[in-house]
Structures are given as structure tokens and as C-alpha cells.
Amino acid sequence: MTDPTPRRAPAGAAVLREDVTEAIRAAVFEELAAVGYARMSIEGIARRAGVGKTAVYRRWKSKLSLVLDLVGAFAAQGLPAPASGSLYGDVRALLEVASHALRHPVASQVIPDLLVEAARHPEIAETVKAVLLDGQQGVMTQVVREAVARGELPEGTDPGKALDLAVGPLYWRLVVVRTPLPKGYVDELARAAVAALKTP
């Protein structure tokens, strides 16, 4: 016999509210910046987000899976490919975006900490690589391809080398040494990288 009572839509614990999820994600960044990955806890995240621990555990099984999911989401977003019409303009645009991202107060705290944790956790290392390398590698590949098509670079130019020359010094200053960029540094770095790439 068919039950005439209509089924109610799931509510409460069965529904993951998007506003709660976003509040937790924001809290993760704040907690990472404040205490680092090693001292970060689900309790601290929940308190900062204004939710109970169960709200966090419904979405992620551990702090590691939470951080990997969050960092991976940023990796999936990718970087906008520059389209200035010149190699110098494209390299400079890429450096400008990267320098702004690395100087963000939260990123300046989170990225060095994740690099330390990456040495201990292969899962973190893989995701950090996707965030810090793969996205920019894809953009630089397009930049080099278009520069070759315009005759600015020779066939066979290695995008990996191009990325090392352009962005490597930026990471060194902002992530490793953690010193402010001198005025005009991005312009000078872009010129130096382009000159090195054009040198046979």
C-alpha cells in the first residue's frame, strides 16, 4: 500500500548551507595566517567561523583534507593569460599579478607555512605544486608560444626556463627572504627576464 504522506525535503544536518561553507573557508585562511598549519585546529576554525565543529566535519574529515580542498580550489581557478601584444608586456603583467598575490597579508603568512608542511605531507606538496607552479606554467607556455609566433623568441624556447627567470626572483624576495620590492622592481625584472630569454 502506498504511503499518501508526502516526503519532506531533507533539512538540518542533511543540508549543507553554502553561506556556512564559505564562512568556514574564510575562517581557514584566517586561522592559517594566525597560527599556521601545525597549530591550526578544527575547533579554532569553527570558533572563528561562528559554527559548531560538526558543521566543519560534515564537509571535511580532517584539517588536512580541508586545506587541500581549499588550496586546490584556487589552483583550479588558474591565472588570466596576459594579452598585451608583446613579450615584455605579457611577462610584466604576469609578474604584476603574482606580486600582488604574494604580497596579500594572508598569502604572505599561509604560503611559507604550507611550503614547510609540504616537506612532511606528500598530499600538501602535490597541491601546493599545483597552486604555485602548474597554473603559472600554463600561462607562461601560452606567453612563450605567442612570442614565438610574433618572432620575439626562437622556436624551442623552454616555458619552464622562462618561468624560472621571470617569477623565481619574485618568489625569492617575497616568500623566502620576505623583503619589500624596491620601486620599479617588477619593470626591471620583466626587462631582465625578456633579455635573458632573447639571448642565444
pLDDT value, residue 75: 55
Q: How far is 78 from 85, CA to CA, in rounded Å?
A: 21
The predicted-structure confidence for 35-87, as pLDDT tens digits, reads as follows: 888 888 999 999 999 999 999 999 998 887 887 777 666 655 556 678 899 99
pLDDT band at 119 (very low <50, low <70, confident <90, very high): confident
Residue type, 182: P
Counts of helices then strands in the chain (DSSP H, E): 10, 0
Radius of gyration over every alpha carbon of the chain, rounded to an integer in angstroms = 22
pLDDT exceeds 50 at position 7: no
User: Which has more pLDDT, 6 or 120?
Assistant: 120
User: Which has more pLDDT, 66 or 4?
Assistant: 66
Q: What percent of the chain has pLDDT over 90?
A: 40
pLDDT value, residue 151: 95
Q: How many alpha carbons fall within 13 Å on the CB side of residue 195? A: 6
Judge whether 97 and 80 are in contact, CB under 8 Å.
Answer: yes
pLDDT value, residue 12: 46
pLDDT value, residue 107: 67
The predicted-structure confidence for 130-139, as pLDDT tens digits, reads as follows: 766 777 888 8
pLDDT exceeds 50 at position 2: no
Q: How far is 167 from 151, CA to CA, in rounded Å?
A: 23
The predicted-structure confidence for 159-193, as pLDDT tens digits, reads as follows: 999 999 999 999 899 888 888 899 999 999 999 99
Task: List all residues 6 or more positions away from 31 whose beta carbon is below 8 Å from its beta carbon.
Answer: 40, 41, 44, 45, 48
pLDDT band at 105 (very low <50, low <70, confident <90, very high): low
pLDDT value, residue 89: 95
Query: Of 28-32, 100-104, 173-177, 183-187, which range is least confident?
Result: 100-104
In 3D space, the residue among 169, 165, 40 whose CA is nearest the CA of residue 102 turns out to be 169
Tell me what the pLDDT averaged over the chain comes to.
82
Q: How far is 1 from 50, CA to CA, in rounded Å?
A: 46
Alpha helices by DSSP H, listed for 78-181, are 87-103, 105-118, 122-129, 135-150, 159-171
pLDDT value, residue 1: 47
At 103, list the grid cell.
Answer: 604580497
pLDDT value, residue 8: 46
